[in-house]
Amino acid sequence: MFDPEKFVTEAVAELQENISGMAIIAASGGIDSTVATVLAHRAIKGQLVSVYVDTGYMRKNESEYIRKMFDDLGIEIRIVDASAEFFEGLKGVIDPEEKRKVIGEKFIRVFERVAAESSAKYLVQGTIAPDWIESGGGLRDVIKSHHNVGALPADMYMELVEPLRDIYKDEVRKVARYLKIASAERQPFPGPGLAIRIMGEATPDAAEVIREACAITEEEIENAVTDGKMEMPWQYFAVLLPVRTVGVQGDVRAYGYTIAVRAVQSIDAMTAAYSKIPHEVLDRISIRITNTMKEKVNRVVFDITNKPPGTIEWE
Ligand code: XMP
């Protein structure tokens, strides 16, 4: 049986042992990096700079959410708006692995700038076991080079410290609950953010569309769960497809993009089953998305693929 208390004690001791100067932590607000931030804060408070990077591919109102969450945890967080850099780096990039590499590299460059200012020699990351197993760390083929593992540039000068690298998502959740982290129940959000929920080029415009679609999907599903209409999915979001289809807006022909709604049940992200969302909830999601973004989106589909054969994200 996994014992969160024991894990925390050991992880804090190990962090103290491994870090002998200033360190920065990449806090994305997700459960993994928030747990890693709290552990590092406990271990080396005075030597730690916690940074949140707004990549331009974050969820709606995320910076405000992050500031409040870390305020509540008593941790000072530095928010860096690097969206222009990320948008520039992803110009013309279509391939999902290439996106992860560019994003991984941009993250590191931002962290290096922050690290240089504080003379940090260590980078703490919330990488968990499935991240590096799926990135080819184990005996398996590379499925996706999760951006915080496979895509680190070779010339990075900071030493990586990964306090969660041996545990799985359900265990991270137990640790988060034990640490009383408010966002313990928050669904996972991938490191590369909304960029990998945009099939094709992740332009600033596409980021706006998918941000809104994800926000509507999350809100409608959360409301339906609160109203007892369905079980809370493990992860739920929207994907922007580069497919344009013909539709009608009023009595005028429209030619807009397609949004796919994805919701899954899972324990540890290694396998997943698509959520059986009631049709009335899907209805509301579809109507709201197409009403809110009339000029851009005129079709919404629901993904009924399990993992395997699909993965949870589309890229
Ligand atoms: P897949 O899509 O591989 O996702 O079934 C499994 C879980 O990992 C998340 N995910 C990522 N997380 N960097 C991350 O930190 C990534 O590059 C990445 N790709 C997928 C995904 O959201 C799901 O929870």
pLDDT tens profile 163-179: 999 999 889 999 999 99
Average pLDDT over residues 149-164: 73
Alpha carbons 147 and 128: distance in angstroms, whole number:
12
- Indicate the pTM of the whole model: 0.88
Residue that is written with structure tokens 């860096």 in the block: 80
Which tens digit of pLDDT belongs to each residue from 264-276?
Answer: 999 878 999 999 9
The pair of three-digit structure tokens given for residue 69, joined into one six-digit string: 């969450």
β 48-54/78-81 pair status? parallel
Residue 274 has what pLDDT? 98
Q: Which two tokens stand for residue 65?
A: 């959410």
The two three-digit tokens of residue 168, written as one number: 């799985």
Whole-angstrom Cα distance, residue 155 to residue 296?
A: 41
The answer to whether the CB of 281 falls within 8 A of the CB of 208 is: no
Nearest CA, atom 10, ligand 1 = 190
pLDDT, one tens digit per residue, over 241-299 is: 999 999 998 888 999 999 999 999 998 789 999 999 999 999 999 999 999 999 999 99
Taking only the tens place, the pLDDT of each residue in 48-67 is 999 999 999 999 999 999 99
Alpha helices in the chain (DSSP H): 4-18, 31-44, 62-72, 83-89, 96-118, 129-132, 169-178, 204-226, 279-292
Closest atom of ligand 1 to 32 CA is: 15
Q: Atom 6 (ligand 1): residue with closest C-alpha?
A: 269
Cα–ligand 1 centroid distance for 116 (angstroms): 29
What is the residue with the minimal CA distance to atom 9 of ligand 1? 190
